[in-house]
Amino acid sequence: MSAKKRKIRKSLFLAAIVFVAIILILFLSLRKKEVDFFILKPVDFNYTILASCSVGYPKPLDMSFQQDGLIKEVYVKEGDGVKKGQKLIQLDDFKQRQQLAIEQNTLKSIELKLKNAREEILPNLKEKLREAELNWQQAKSLYDRYRQVEAAGGITKSDLDKAEKELEKAQARYNQAKTEMENFEKSGLLASLQNELEIARARVELAQRQLEETVLTAPFDGRVIGIDVQVGERVAPGRRVLTLIEDKKWNFVLNADQKELPFLKPGLKAYVVLDAFPERKIEAEIVYVCTEVNRETNTCELRIEVREDVSFIKFGMAGKAEIMAKRFEQVLAFPFRLIKKGPEGEFLWLWENGQARKQKIKYQRVGERLAIAQNLKPGQIILEASADANPKKLKPGKRALSL
């Protein structure tokens, strides 16, 4: 074969390759991309909220004495049930009783002094003041008459001077008696005794409180879950000596996403499965929904209360909670991830009349996973495609999505 023929054959072969490539490129560019799809239809479903939880209430209460001392008596043991006000542990109270007796005697002594001051000294001072005032008034009256008589020439000037001196003496005695009276009541003995009385009463109250604090009593109906001392042991102020837990229904604490708030309210039924007892489903009910959302985690604290008597629950146990949030009937629910965002807002890719198109969507969100369409009809097909997809290249594939 000549070189010329070989060159022609090579050119024809290359042209055929280029032609096939062009045809393939055109085919691929015109070929539609198959995507997963979802068909809208009315459905019934229960919306549940799932979250990890732990036993948070009632919390164990650590009890301690506010003063040091020797343990004289322990009236309970671990596991005992107790009633509010029941004695739990007693310190040796000899010093406290002795101190209270001393303070009470001091108080009685001051009360007697004050009584004597009010019933004897004060009346005497009042009588002394009354007499001084009466003498002063008489001296003043006599002096006034002497002035009139002296002016008429009835007495001598020396008699008037004598009456004036007696008036000055009477007034001085009255002023002195008045000063004594005021000092006695405001800054003297009476005031001093009043101050001592208040101090003595405060000291008696303090001694009584210190005596009362030698006994630990139950602040509520509950159960003893720990005792950390024994008779004869010395304890320091603030050291834990006993732990109680209140007789209340157990509360599990969990944190739900703030998006769940529209569905959360007290009274909703819930179920809890503890990690330690996975075979047991415990009935519970929401009793508390947070008053504010945690800004760092965007979560809302819930408390669900156990409604049945479950003996194996312990404080701090962990588990999973399932809250029966709401029942939906005959709604057009679809996966929330099918909603896309574009310059025109949120939309869905719909397949209608053999082609894809954008449809603005109005919906109610249900948790993280679902949404309920409010402006679509049953039977419409939603495509799962990216927001910037080319509608001319989209078509339903072989896999239909489900809720």
pLDDT more than 70, % of the chain: 86
Taking 50 as the threshold, does the pLDDT of residue 66 lie above it?
Answer: yes
pLDDT digits (tens, 9 = 90+) for 164-179: 787 778 787 877 777 7
Amino acid (1-letter code) at residue 143: Y
Mean of pLDDT values over 167-194: 72
Position 24 scores a pLDDT of 52
pLDDT digits (tens, 9 = 90+) for 306-348: 988 888 899 999 999 999 888 899 999 999 999 999 888 999 9
- d(CA 102, CA 204) in angstroms, rounded, equals 9
Position 182 scores a pLDDT of 67
The answer to whether 38 and 381 have CB atoms below 8 angstroms apart is yes
* C-alpha 207: how far from chain center: 34
- d(CA 403, CA 394) in angstroms, rounded, equals 22
Taking 80 as the threshold, does the pLDDT of residue 351 lie above it?
Answer: yes
pLDDT digits (tens, 9 = 90+) for 200-248: 999 999 999 999 999 999 999 999 999 999 999 999 999 999 999 999 9
Q: Which residue has the tokens 């588990």?
A: 319
- As to burial, measured by CB atoms within 10 angstroms (0-12 exposed, 13-18 middle, 19+ buried), residue 222 is buried
- d(CA 113, CA 190) in angstroms, rounded, equals 9
pLDDT digits (tens, 9 = 90+) for 103-133: 999 999 988 887 876 766 666 667 777 777 7
Q: Collapse the DSSP code of 108 into the 3-class scheme (helix H, G, I; strand E, B; otherwise coil) and give the result.
A: helix
Torsion of CA 389, 392, 398, 403, to 10 degrees: 50
pLDDT digits (tens, 9 = 90+) for 70-87: 999 999 999 999 999 999
In this predicted model, which residue has the larger pLDDT, 31 or 239?
239
Q: Which residue has the tokens 């146990």?
A: 317
pLDDT digits (tens, 9 = 90+) for 372-386: 999 999 999 999 999
Region of poorest pLDDT, from 17-31, 261-275, 316-330:
17-31
Position 26 scores a pLDDT of 47
Sign for the pseudo-dihedral over CA of 31, 34, 39, 40: negative
Position 2 scores a pLDDT of 62
In this predicted model, which residue has the larger pLDDT, 147 or 255?
255
Position 14 scores a pLDDT of 66
The CA-atom distances, in angstroms, between 393 and each of 30, 349, 385, 396, 400 are: 7, 12, 11, 10, 18
